[in-house]
Amino acid sequence: MQSTKPQVVYSIVIPLFNEEAVLPVLALRLESLLARLDAPAEVILVNDGSSDTTGIFLRAKALHDDRFKYLSLSRNFGHQIAISAGMEAASGEAVIVMDGDLQDPPELILEMIGKWREGFSIVYAKRLLREGESRFKLRSARLFYRALNRMSSVSIPEDVGDFRLVGRNALDAFLQMPERDRFVRGMFAWLGFKQTAVEFDRPARAAGETKYPLWKMIRLAVTGLIGFSDVPLRLAIWGGMGVSVLALLYGLYVIGLKLIGGQIIEGWASTMVVVSFLCGANMLMTGIIGLYIGRIHSEVKQRPLYVVNERVGFEDSKAVHLPAARSA
């Protein structure tokens, strides 16, 4: 009689990029967590084009422990896309996304599962304290989310990253979202469903260096702002109108002085100031519009969201094809 493999209930998705220093500790804590879960689980390790020994370690782990699965992307597609690739490959009824630097403690997943069992479709981890992060990063992040929530019709929770549990109903809806420039935490907020938070104190990195320097944080912020708000376009319109009104008032002022016989001092400096101001405002507004046009250009090309180089531990040898995220 042929035995059947138990149905996976929990899928833990971990995107990794050059994290060789932390992998041994991560593996031990994940094994301890799997032993405490109340149902069968899988761990999907997504190698996002690492250039160190991360891929070697992950592949070996998947070959020697059938609870671990290895998904290797053909190059570095970025954190948000690596998350999407792992979630598409997940087969569980509850999918948990966490970072591999152990700033997202695996043990918190048990509390997330408890909330999911209560009927919540999405359970996100909210940070109370954030060790090892500068005041500038903390204040800028807080300011960004407050500004984004005021400009967007979608309320995105503050002090929340991508560490979350997603039920199958919410995940299936997420996988149908086709955009290429992704702000995953905003996409889940847009979906709605019944959501709640579990709070935790976020520790510092266990080892290695952050993979989200300032320029990547700025890029992610711009992606979120453009993806969930058209306020920059409206500001460009109102800004253009404001500059035009100021230019008109200045023109009327000059004409008025001429009519009453006032003295008009013609100078190169004042002319250059006005011209430079108008040119700068024009370039700023054109740039804002260009960002949105660039997003449209990226979407209409219809390229795959990511490309899979290797899969280890999965029952099928080919990736699932969905309109939102196709893999090769």
User: Against a cut of 0.85, is the pTM above it?
Assistant: no
Helices and strands (H and E) in the chain: how many: 10, 8
Q: Answer yes or no: is pLDDT of 237 > 80.
A: no
Same domain flag for 101 and 49: yes
Encoded tokens for 307: 């490309």
In a domain, 281, yes or no: yes
291 is a domain residue: yes
Q: What is the domain-level CATH number for residue 118? A: 3.90.550.10
Same domain, 22 and 130: yes
Number of neighbours of residue 283 by Cβ within 10 angstroms: 11
Q: Rounded mean pLDDT of 290-298?
A: 67
Answer yes or no: is 128 within a domain.
yes
Residue 176 shares a structural domain with residue 295: no
**Residues 95 and 134 grouped into a single domain:** yes
> Does the pLDDT of residue 272 top 60, yes or no?
no
The model's confidence at residue 42, banded by pLDDT at 50, 70 and 90, is very high
Indicate whether 131 and 95 sit together in one domain: yes
> Residue 327 — pLDDT band, cuts 50, 70, 90?
very low
Q: pLDDT for 117-149, tens place per residue? A: 998 998 988 887 766 565 666 566 666 656 655
Q: Which domain holds residue 247?
A: 231-300
CA–CA separation, 314 vs 219, rounded Å? 33
Domain count, the chain: 2
Q: Are 36 and 138 within one domain?
A: yes
Shared domain check, 216 and 235: no
Q: How confident is the model at residue 7 (pLDDT cuts 50, 70, 90)?
A: confident
- Residue reference for tokens 């690739």: 85
Both 222 and 296 in a single domain?
no
- pLDDT tens, residue by residue, 241-256: 676 666 667 666 666 7
Place of tokens 């795959």: 304
- Considering the domain boundaries, does residue 326 fall inside one? no
Q: Are residues 245 and 208 in the same domain?
A: no
Which pLDDT belongs to residue 127? 81
What confidence category does residue 2 fall into, taking pLDDT thresholds of 50, 70 and 90? very low
Domain assignment present for residue 4? The answer is no
Specify burial of residue 72 (Cβ count, 10 A radius: 0-12, 13-18, 19+).
buried
Handedness of CA 29, 31, 35, 41 (dihedral sign): positive
1 within some domain: no
Name the pLDDT band for 198 (thresholds 50, 70, 90). Answer: confident
pLDDT at 230 over 70: no
Q: Are residues 21 and 36 in the same domain?
A: yes
Query: Are residue 142 and residue 169 in the same domain, yes or no?
Result: yes
**Between residues 314 and 152, the one the model is more confident about:** 314
Q: Is residue 320 part of a domain?
A: no
Q: Give the range among 16-25, 98-107, 185-194 with minimum mean pLDDT.
A: 185-194
Whether 65 shows a pLDDT value over 50: the answer reads yes
Q: Do residues 131 and 245 both lie within one domain?
A: no
Q: What is the mean pLDDT of residues 138-166?
A: 70
In a domain, 120, yes or no: yes
What pLDDT is recorded for position 191?
84
